[in-house]
Amino acid sequence: MIDDAFLVVDKPQGLTSQQVVARVKRQLGCRKVGHTGTLDPLATGVLPLAFNRATRLIQYLDESRKVYSGEIELGVESDTLDRDGEIVSRHEGPLECSEKEISDVFARYHGRVTQVVPIYSAIKNKGRPLYAYARSGVKVIPPKRQVEIESFTLLSYSPPLVAFRVVCSKGTYVRSLAADVGRDLGCGARIWSLRREKSGPFILAQAFPLDKLMEKVALSESLPLISPLEVLTHLPRIVIGDSEIKNKIAHGMMIPLDLISMSSSTFNVKDEIVLVDEAGTLLAVARLNQDKESGSEIEELRMSRVMMPQSS
């Protein structure tokens, strides 16, 4: 039986994120497997997977910062904004963009940026993903969203391919960024290749190629699992030693703050708090319970996600 843990797969090109999950789930015979951030079939790189009860913790991960590298192809536009889609436009004539011109356009996208969500995306409109409308030929107005671009760097330029690296916020569509660059340069563009190097606490150095992972599973070898506590270091932590309190936690009961000698002023009311035992085992994720009537009195910890089994 596999542990409640995370594992980073180096997603191969050509598979959807869900296909990777299905393959791992089938090979491991694991009941629950989830992923923490979708990658397009074209993209490769960091795809974090959560196993069993670790799937309960996905919402508490800090994956607000992403890092991608790849190539933008100038002079070609497609309906999906990458090379997997149908070509809708080609630039006539030679590409006369210089590295300086490309770098200057990249610089426009530093900071807070408004993006139009690609029509081929999983964002839903009236309960239906945008790609479903696009595939059926139904026109919808895609939403806009605010994202943060920390850095957008030109690595090299060998026409028509522009190698780049971008550090950005969660929710950024790099395909849209490439299309915007092409529009600003006046020649159009699409993503040619894309590799995710980092997603929050998960990095490429931890990523295991899918085929190698399948080999390890077939040989019953140990997997490079990551414990939940390793990826929840951004959350404050309380050590629980009392067995009666642990039993209350296991049953999802609220814990009075005076039982754990804790002051509510130590934490923000919006903070999620990690509860661990003396051995460093994750017991639960909890939150300060604010009195509904006064809106200010905080006397208890309410369990958000219990990770320990109930005692008999």
Which of the following is catalytic: 4, 40, 82, 180? 40
H helix runs in 84-191, sequence order: 99-107, 130-135, 174-185
Q: Is the separation of the CB atoms in 134 and 119 below 8 Å?
A: yes
* Length of the chain (residues): 312
Distances (CA, A) of 116 to 7, 10, 29, 120, 145: 32, 28, 40, 11, 7
3-state class percentages of the chain: helix first, strand second, coil last, to nearest 5: 25, 35, 40
Sign of the alpha-carbon torsion through 180, 69, 170, 34: positive
Contact 118, 142 (CB under 8 A): yes
Return the sign of the alpha-carbon dihedral for residues 28, 32, 37, 39.
positive
Query: In whole angstroms, what is the distance from residue 135 CA to residue 31 CA?
Result: 32
Give the tokens for residue 300: 């208890």
40 has catalytic annotation: yes
Say if residues 232 and 286 touch (Cβ distance below 8 Å).
no
CA–CA distance, 137 with 157 (Å, rounded to integer)? 36
8 A C-beta contact, residue 75 and residue 88: no
Query: In 3D, which of 135, 191, 130, 136 has the Cα closest to residue 160?
Result: 191
Helices (H), the chain: 17-28, 99-107, 130-135, 174-185, 210-218, 243-250
Active site residues: 40
